[in-house]
Amino acid sequence: MDFSTLRNLISRYCTGEENWVDNRTVYIGHKEPPPGAEAYIPQRYPDNRIISSKYTFWNFIPKNLFEQFRRIANFYFLIIFLVQLIIDTPTSPITSGLPLFFVITVTAIKQGYEDWLRHKADNAINQCPVHVIQHGNVVRKQSRKLRVGDVVKVKEDESFPCDLILLSTSRDDGTCFVTTASLDGESSHKTLYAVQDTKAFNTEEEIDTIQATIECEQPQPDLYKFVGRINIYLERDEPIARPLGSENLLLRGATLKNTEYIYAVAIYTGMETKMALNYQSKSQKRSAVEKSMNSYLIVYLCILISKALINTVLKYAWQANPNRDEPWYNQKTETERQRHILIRAFTDFLAFMVLFNYIIPVSMYVTVEMQKFLGSYFITWDDEMFDEELGIGAMVNTSDLNEELGQVEYVFTDKTGTLTENNMEFIECCVDGHVYVPHAICNGQVMAGATGMDMIDSSPSAESKEHEELFFRALCLCHTVQVKEEETVDGIKRGIHQGKATSFYISSSPDEVALVEGMKRLGFTYLRLKDSHMEILNREDEIERFELLEVLNFDSVRRRMSVIVRSSAGEYFLFCKGADSAIFPRVVSGKVEQVQARVEHNAVCPGGCMDAYEPYKKLSPIETSILLGATAVEDRLQDKAADTIESLHKAGMKVWVLTGDKMETAAATCYASKLFRRSTQILELTTKRTEEQSLHDVLHDLSRTVLRHHGSMTRDTFSGLSNEFQDYGLIIDGATLSAVLKPPVEGNSGANGGNYKEIFLEICRNCSAVLCCRMAPLQKAQIVKLIKASKEHPITLAIGDGANDVSMILEAHVGIGVMGKEGRFRLHDSIHIIPKFKHLKKMLLVHGHYYYIRIAELVQYFFYKNVCFIFPQFLYQFFCGFSQQPLYDTAYLTLYNISFTSLPILLYSLIEQHINMDILRKDPSLYRDISKNSLLRWPIFIYWTCLGVFDAVVFFFGAFFLFDNTTFTSNGQLMTTNTQMMFGNWTFGTLVFTVLVFTVTLKLALDTHYWTWINHFVIWGSLLFYVIFSLLWGGIIWPFLNYQRMYYVFMQMLSSGPAWLSIILLIMVSLLPDVVKKVLCRALWPTTTERIQKRNPDRYYEGVLRFNQDSLLEGAQSSSEA
């Protein structure tokens, strides 16, 4: 539990505010209520400090150590280290303690640095100036000193310092506009309202006279829910009580827009604000590579236990032979002989565990963390993923899931703002069946300077002309658009006359702005809303005024908005605007057939249009519902979106579009983006069809259809677009999806009581693309969760740009945020961010491919080199009487994974590129070679383990044979007794260790597909470092050592010609099987990647070299500039 939270709970308890109290009382301006009113109970709330850091100066060490030792590998090595301290073990505790200390220290430094950055950011926020009203004056305070009940003044473009209740604004109507992009991803303007009885208080002196209390709920994280009440005390006995809702609540992190200033009272501060309660901890998702690592770790732990158990049993079996002449140095002391045999056996078992514990690669975890952290910069440095229009590039908020980018099987994408530009453009309207289009159209795109419309059919009649103007007025009145305050009516009129297309409008809905601007080109300009009157500039440059009586805002249930207005002539009108499904059933008269025909024509247009329909009622004793017309607003497809989807298909991924739009519009976008092709057979699972048939029958019909061509074999995700299969596409709407996901009725096992999920998944598996329309945000997440939980457990990716996409982005294995117009996802640490949808292609096909190849090789190589390292130690026990004698010196045991072999594999895992990136981009099918975690499957793991065992056997028995042979001399003569003493245990172990270091390093060099000066420096430098260290370690008498067993051993070994020959020979024999295997596999069973490498060697090497050097230079420049 966070200490600040505990402190707050204790403070509340001490002041009488127990946890079970579900509301709080806030005294505005800290003023006591008048005598005779409610009792004044002073309450303590937390201050306004934001604490996003994890540690403090005094709890960093214990808390960080606790968190690190929760990792199994670290905890295991801690136990081994403690065992070495407690019992007599064959190796020094330094051999386990130093590597563990290195791993813990590096990780602690990394986490400490990240937390220091969080502290720095917290201090910058907490020290921001805030303007507080005290005794009728504005006082400047630091944000952290703000208290519940303080009245603050916030100016335009400033962020709210805490959660506030709006009291008054600079606007006469008591409204203000905010953006909440940092909270929910929405950058559109939202309208909030001041308390009705306080909105007239517009000065500090007037605000200071307010005497009121607020009763509201306790802090909770829901951004869209708030319940409260304000009690305003006047001269009367009873206070005025007004309800408060989310429309009165200003959230911390939101920004004030298009409003000069506001006054508001603080109700939630610090860590109790909704923004703080919505802080998401770093994603706990685990990648497929990490799961494979943990599985391999369990296998190697079992191998370790088996080795220790075998050696323990064999030791006592060997000692039980009465005829065996045991050496004097193996004789037990009196204390040891008196111990129970089980205790002695357990102690020996632990000693063998310590001796063989290096088979568990503890340093692999810190290497993997460093590889992920440093490797993530290659995306950030990529110039091709920089968008000139937005002026920003790709960002990586977390590097934990980099390798998952190379394993994606399902892509779930939003439509509006992700596949499309979310740049609404008014392209035509239909009034009484007559169609109007803009004057200036170029390649289907409305030009910015277009100032009029053309009719593309017959001229309208007088009655139609009247309806036309009424339709245009309706679009100027039925909206929530606001005009920027700095623009005057005269300024707008001048802009109209001069033909300027500058937008003066702000709205929470971009299509509303498009409609109002479209009407401006037609001669009807919305000017402003003033004193509850909406002003319109008509074609004759006359200002028309309509009194706004009531607004019924658009919501996802009604799917329409309505306004009631009164004209200057005293006529009342009800205008309604909304989707076709919400408007047509409510229309009584008008040319419905003609308008509907045009709507259906637009629904299949390739550009993707969204329509708004305008019926109206003239409120009188005889009411009518007349359809005025329809509008078409185009949201164009993003650049290269179709090419990206086509490449993802070729890479074997299934692409699903999840959108809230209607089916016709979404389907048109899918055809334009090549998600659906002309050859695609569309299967519909919609409300319209389920009304004609039962859901059970429709699902089974579709299932029979898709399985007709495939038989009992389902289409595999990576069968791609093979001609063997009919290409199917599925369309499903939100209502039908709810029915499909609805759990079966208990006790009803009939035809209609079954679980439809499996049938639905069976249909989807055999479809190359799926379109889900009319989706609610929760349904998007449910779809992703359903696919994740299917029997194949595929890797999923979700990409979107708005707040309604956050749920599916967090649900998917990999979440990608698009920096669209709806927000920038600054609070969601579980996702990567790209400027445009087209950048997803390179992120997956190039960066994802490289990330997976590199880390998969790193994992397999770490386990391989540790098998090579420790298996000779296991074999050596059969030749030393199971005495737990170590084969290697303590220094070699300690530095093997830290210094001698760590840097080459780290560099390899950062810059290795087995194939040119241009080829990866142009041939997406190469992505299939690494799909389904192909490089970390069990057969490949077994191969690497067996290769390590083979090399270890060669090291040990090769050296053993040479030592046993009398021709192994130092001067060409047969060994004398002295030379035999020189070539003893430590020389034998050093020879094995030397062959080991050179073999595993050269093995990595053989696997490297290109060379730069960095590769040469690190690989040959590591071998040179080992030689120099061994010369120094054995050539100097170190005063801090109690024994000098390695003195002159390395030099004595190198002084022998046969030793040199044996080292070279053993290295060649160890590497030979892997070389032969690679040659045969490339010749007889080459993969697609290997065939392309063979066909394009020159282009391949030139490309990878150029990318590496450019990337490193750009990274260095970026770092220096930062």
Ligand-binding annotation for 660, yes or no, is yes
Ligand-binding annotation for 577, yes or no, is yes
**Burial level of 796, CB count in 10 A (0-12/13-18/19+)?**
buried
Dmax (CA) of the chain: 126
The Cα 604–Cα 602 span in angstroms is 5
The Cα 1084–Cα 157 span in angstroms is 67
Helix (H) or strand (E) holding 798: strand 796-800
Which residue among the candidates 47, 414, 432, 511 is catalytic per the annotation?
414
The Cα 249–Cα 165 span in angstroms is 5
The Cα 630–Cα 99 span in angstroms is 72
- C-alpha 581 chain-centroid distance: 36
Q: Which of 957, 982, 999, 997 is nearest to 1046 (CA)?
A: 982
Ligand-binding annotation for 414, yes or no, is yes
Ligand-binding annotation for 611, yes or no, is no
Q: Are 656 and 419 in contact (CB under 8 A)?
A: no
- 829 catalytic per annotation: no
Helix (H) or strand (E) holding 445: strand 445-446
Q: Which of 266, 257, 47, 255 is nearest to 160 (CA)?
A: 255
CA distances from 16 to 32, 269, 834, 1093 (A): 18, 19, 50, 74
The Cα 240–Cα 226 span in angstroms is 20
Our CA angle for 491, 495, 499, nearest 5°, is 170
The Cα 482–Cα 530 span in angstroms is 11
Span between the terminal Cα atoms of the chain, in Å: 36
Q: Are 105 and 82 in contact (CB under 8 A)?
A: no
The Cα 27–Cα 32 span in angstroms is 7
Ligand-binding annotation for 512, yes or no, is yes
Q: Which two tokens stand for residue 880?
A: 């030393």
Scored b (16 or more CB within 10 A) or e, 200-219 reads: ebbebeebbebbbbbbbeeb
Q: Which of 611, 556, 565, 558 is nearest to 586 (CA)?
A: 558
Ligand-binding annotation for 824, yes or no, is no
Q: Are 1099 and 916 in contact (CB under 8 A)?
A: yes
Ligand-binding annotation for 635, yes or no, is no
Q: Are 130 and 141 in contact (CB under 8 A)?
A: yes
Q: Which two tokens stand for residue 627?
A: 């359809």
Question: Which residue is associated with the tokens 């505005």?
Answer: 28
Ligand-binding annotation for 805, yes or no, is yes
Ligand-binding annotation for 774, yes or no, is yes
Q: Which two tokens stand for residue 188?
A: 């559109």
Sequence letter at residue 558: R
Upper half-sphere CA count for residue 549 (Cβ side, 13 Å): 13
Ligand-binding annotation for 661, yes or no, is yes
CA distances from 699 to 110, 116, 735 (A): 53, 56, 15
Q: Which of 1038, 1065, 1036, 1062 is nearest to 1049 (CA)?
A: 1036
The Cα 90–Cα 478 span in angstroms is 85
Ligand-binding annotation for 912, yes or no, is no
Q: Which residues are annotated as part of the binding site? A: 414-416, 512, 554, 577, 659-661, 774, 780, 801, 804-805
Q: Which residues are annotated as part of the binding site for ATP? A: 414-416, 512, 554, 577, 659-661, 774, 780, 804-805
Q: Which residues are annotated as part of the binding site for Mg(2+)? A: 414, 416, 801, 805
Hey, which residues are catalytic here?
Answer: 414
